[in-house]
């Protein structure tokens, strides 16, 4: 896989950290901070570990901490996937 889409990310978030009641992860959430979606830094860290393992990439911890929204997080992941693929 050379690109992670929002639907892939939300599925991983649900698997790794569950889903907060009353939050619609299927809506327009690209620019909604993870905290407002019910995910703290530990939830993002768990998801990051899963992504690193499943997609064989290494994500910069500081960059992960700074990625406060799904859009920023996906950009980080997809950049790493592109670099791994040599694109």
Reference 13, options 77, 66, 57, 63; nearest CA is 77
- Alpha carbon dihedral 69, 65, 42, 29, in 10-degree steps, equals 0
Q: What is the pLDDT of residues 36-84, one digit of tens each?
A: 999 999 999 999 999 999 999 999 999 999 999 999 999 999 999 998 8
At 87, the pLDDT band (50, 70, 90 cuts) reads low
Residues 44 and 74: beta-carbon distance below 8 Å: no
Task: Find where tokens 């500081």 sit.
Answer: 62
């Amino acid at each position: 896989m050379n690109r992670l889409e929002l639907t892939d990310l939300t599925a991983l978030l649900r698997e790794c950290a569950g889903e907060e009641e009353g939050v619609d992860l299927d809506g327009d959430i690209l620019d909604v901070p993870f905290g407002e979606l019910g995910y703290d830094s530990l939830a993002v860290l768990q998801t990051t570990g899963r992504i690193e393992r499943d997609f064989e990439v290494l994500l910069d911890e500081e960059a992960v901490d700074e990625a406060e929204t799904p859009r920023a997080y996906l950009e980080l992941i997809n950049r790493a996937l592109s670099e791994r693929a040599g694109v």
